[in-house]
Amino acid sequence: MIDRALRRSGSGALMGGLVALATLLGSMPTQASGQTQASCAMAGAAAEDGWRLYRTGDIQAAGRQFNRALAACPRHLGALTGRGYVALRQGEVDEASRVFGSVLSADPAHVDALLGAGLAQSRLGRLAEAEEHFRAATVEAPDSPDAALGLARMAAWQGRHHEAERLYRSYTGRWPESTEAHLGLARALEAQGRSRAAHRALEEARRSAPQAPEVQAFADDMARSRRPSFRTSFVYESDSDRNRVRSTVVRAAWRPRAGIEVRWDAYLRESKVDRQFFLVRRAAGLRVGVATTLDAGWQLRAGVGGSDTNVTGSGRLGSFDASLATPGRRPVVAVLAFNRSPLDATSVLIERGVQVTSVTLEAQTNRASFGDGRLSLSWAGYEGIGSNRRWYSNLRVLARPSGPVRIGVDATVLGFSRNLNEGYFDPSSYVLALVPIQGRVSWNERWGLGLTVSPGIEHIGGGAGRRGALRGEGELSYSFPGGPSVSLGGIYATTGAQALWADEFGYRYFATSVGLSWQF
């Protein structure tokens, strides 16, 4: 069924098992008009020789035998399937996809052609189509290990790590000696942050194949992920209210042991505003936090920190945050978070020492059938020269219609108890509805480009009325050999929700950033 000589590379290329010879040779030919039983019988013998040669690794000779069989009986499904697998082995993926498609046109339930088509589509990067073929193969052959393994791979390669965990666990329960399944399970667990469970799955893979290079490579990757990582970014923000903000942000992370991550975040910000007055203010902050994911999947995070400014007579402001998330493998994940931190995004906010305390309850889902969704409810208290209260709700749903594009809806409703002149956007009521359209592509295993365009409409209470809204953002990234990466990003928005201080129509916000990441 799946050819083990087709190995998975770092870009997510193919991996598989041997073609089931008995099933292939049992494929009955569909005879063309005028063909004799004798010619198709000869084709069957040639196809059998082809598969014998294929199993010995003589791919070119196998291809000649399959061609000989097809010359005598062009619709011999066993020979056609063999030609498809030979094309895969020779790197002719488009040709393999075409050949497997012709077999499935004649026999949509042909298991080996379904598996071959899944392999070919995955090699072409068409993971959703590949998944459909593997799923159909599991329906036709529920006891096929190759179909089950292909389905698990597609879930993992599309980032559905909790689903991949379930499929790999099911596979290892039925076929416990599979190195690839144990390794796939380890990868799925590590992607969820469940490092201790990932180590146990990795040990099972080592037991089944102690010298396997792919097992050692993943073990090296896990060891490397525990090394300290570092990211710095430089952000410039401006808007039509004549705010100009420059920020330098530094983030570092370190895993002292499996399942525990320590984070260190610091920022330095200079903000200017030139409206009816000119004001320059600076702020600096530091946060130290720890995060852990328990074996059962529960995620715990907490952090403490503080900030200081150049405002005469102002004291240092402390910050604290904590969150608890239910296991991600469940259909709906719940997150409860508490945060207290200074709101020092602009010079006016820095001047007035605004601090925000918030409690947020969030529900998230990521279902393969439609995409992912998130519902957030939040209450916050604002303390500056005066006090204020804010309620907030947001619903965001993104569907995956096909390929790298996602489209959805993003609706926000919020309101403040008082309309103060504190330097933040505080309408009595605000409604924002956007239609985000996302796309992300990568090439050469180094470059990545992500774009999001979100047109919509907003309504601002207090007499400001309804108007069109637009938000767009993009990021171009490049990864260097050895781990470092650099990115260039930008944001453009006309929404009040993005406002640094918006109290008029025609608001515009723009930000650009340069980031550098490094893992030691």
Does a structural domain hold residue 312?
yes
Collapsing DSSP states into helix, strand and coil, what is residue 428?
coil
Same domain for 199 and 295: no
pLDDT value for 402 = 65
Q: What is the CATH number of the domain that holds 389?
A: 2.40.160
Task: Kindly report whether the global pTM for this prediction surpasses the value 0.85.
Answer: no
Domains of the chain: total:
2
- Please identify, among 190, 225, 260, the residue that sits at the C-terminal boundary of a domain: 225
Q: List strand residue ranges (DSSP E) for 371-446, in order.
A: 371-383, 387-402, 405-416, 430-434, 437-443
Does a structural domain hold residue 314?
yes
Q: Which helix (H) or strand (E) holds 24?
A: helix 21-25
pLDDT tens, residue order, the chain (520 aa): 344 333 322 333 333 333 333 333 334 334 344 445 566 767 778 888 888 888 888 888 888 888 888 888 888 888 888 988 899 988 899 999 999 999 999 999 999 899 999 999 998 888 889 999 999 999 999 999 999 999 999 999 888 888 899 999 999 999 999 999 999 999 999 888 788 889 899 999 999 888 889 998 888 888 877 788 899 999 999 988 888 999 999 999 998 887 789 999 999 999 998 766 788 999 999 999 999 988 778 899 999 999 999 887 777 889 999 999 998 777 889 999 999 999 988 888 888 888 999 999 999 987 655 678 999 999 999 998 889 999 999 999 998 776 678 899 999 999 999 988 788 888 889 999 999 999 988 887 789 999 999 999 999 886 667 888 999 999 999 988 877 889 999 999 988 766 665 455 567 788 888 877 775 5
CA-angle at 444, arms to 441 and 450, nearest 5°: 20
- Burial track 144-174 (b if 16+ CB lie within 10 A, e otherwise): bbbbbbbbbbbbbbbebbbbbbbbbeebbee
Name residue, tokens 């969150």.
323
Same domain for 170 and 143: yes
Same domain for 404 and 422: yes
Same domain for 241 and 154: no
Contact between 247 and 268 under an 8 Å Cβ cutoff? The reply is yes
3-state secondary structure 151-172: HHHHHHHCCCHHHHHHHHHHHH
Same domain for 473 and 330: yes
Same domain for 257 and 212: no
Same domain for 209 and 350: no
Domain membership of residue 46 as a residue range: 21-225
pLDDT value for 463 = 63
pLDDT value for 315 = 73
Same domain for 258 and 217: no
- Please identify, among 208, 225, 242, the residue that sits at the C-terminal boundary of a domain: 225
Same domain for 325 and 192: no
Does a structural domain hold residue 13?
no
Same domain for 276 and 170: no
Q: Which helix (H) or strand (E) holds 471?
A: strand 465-479
Rounded distance between C-alpha atoms, residue 362 and residue 150, angstroms:
33
Does a structural domain hold residue 340?
yes
Q: List strand residue ranges (DSSP E) for 310-386, in order.
A: 317-325, 333-342, 355-367, 371-383
Q: Which helix (H) or strand (E) holds 35?
A: none
Contact between 342 and 317 under an 8 Å Cβ cutoff? The reply is yes
pLDDT value for 404 = 77
Q: What is the CATH number of the domain that holds 158?
A: 1.25.40.10
Does a structural domain hold residue 211?
yes
